[in-house]
Amino acid sequence: MNFKQKLEIIIKKNNSLLCIGLDPDLEKIPNFLLKKKDSIFEFNIEIIKKTHDLVCAYKPNIAFYEAYGLKGLSQLKKTVEYIKYYHPEIPIILDAKRADIGNASKMYAKSAFGYWNVDAITVNPYLGFDSIEPFLEYKDKGVIILCKTSNPGAKDFQDSYVSPGIHLGSGLNRTPREIVEPLYLNIARNVVEWDKKYKNCLMVIGATWPNDLKKIRKIAPNMYFLVPGIGAQKGEAEKAAKVGVNKDKSGIMFNVGRSIIYDPYPRKKASELKNIINRFR
């Protein structure tokens, strides 16, 4: 079963487009867990136990584990193994925003899909097609390409006007200089082309940019999107759900981290968000 099939099954089973970000911060996790040996892992287990029937995916961001060195990374490994053992039907997305020159990307891909054994990874398209291709070659995995990120600085470069170049696999096809569009739309068009061949592409679009989300949905009517930025980053689930879904009222994973995992009642909060998304999708 490939990543998209796995995702579609769990979306239906849990009737949910909610993805929870497992981004543990030792300064924020409850005191009683800090006393335990593997407090990050224990914190994640608490969240997973309370939410596994409410989600369509879990997304650990590797920064929150790397920050604690090998001890942190070993707890990421334990978290992945825990989910794979107790909830094998739930996809795990490694949020690492990787990609490098080809031979290094090959190693990043091997690390994500081999060692970490996750179902999908986030990647950064700045280095171009040859930096993404080593990930795309894992056809049963999901490759989630940054398109328009949720942060305020997304405007700095991603909104720049460029003359569109489409990489069709055989090489780059650039339109005349006078034709321009924002870089993020050019990325979206490229990802749609890549997906025709590899069939495992997804895109990241921040919930903080609902107008851009709408434009990207037009370019990629059938693609799955990862939409972060709800809650702590002030993106609104209602708006993003209305404009972002595909014709089947699906096609999105809404990632929420802090505003669920640090809520005193994570299950209640996750359930509320799941229901809001379902009401507006």
Judged by the rule CB under 6 A, the positions of this chain that interact with ligand OMP are 21, 23, 61, 95, 122, 149-150, 204, 206, 226, 228-229, 231-233, 255-258
- Find all residues with CB under 8 Å of 110, minimum gap 6, and list them: none
Cβ-based nearer residue to ligand OMP, 162 or 237: 237
Amino acid found at 82: Y
Q: Closest approach of Cβ 179 to ligand OMP, in Å? A: 27
Q: Closest approach of Cβ 235 to ligand OMP, in Å? A: 9
Q: Are 43 and 82 in contact (CB under 8 A)?
A: no
Angstrom distance (rounded) from CA 106 to CA 271: 38
Q: Closest approach of Cβ 43 to ligand OMP, in Å? A: 14
Q: Closest approach of Cβ 198 to ligand OMP, in Å? A: 19
Cβ-based nearer residue to ligand OMP, 23 or 195: 23
Cβ-based nearer residue to ligand OMP, 175 or 275: 275
Helix axes 266-280, 237-244, angle to 10 degrees: 40
Residue nearest to ligand OMP (CB): 257
**DSSP codes joined into one string, 153-186:** THHHHHT-EE--EEE-SS-EEE--TT--EEHHHH
Structure tokens at 46: 């608490």
Active site positions, annotated: 97
Q: Are 20 and 51 in contact (CB under 8 A)?
A: yes
CA distances (Å), origin 83, targets 71, 117, 168, 204, 262: 19, 11, 37, 23, 20
- Residue tagged 């990632």 (tokens): 255
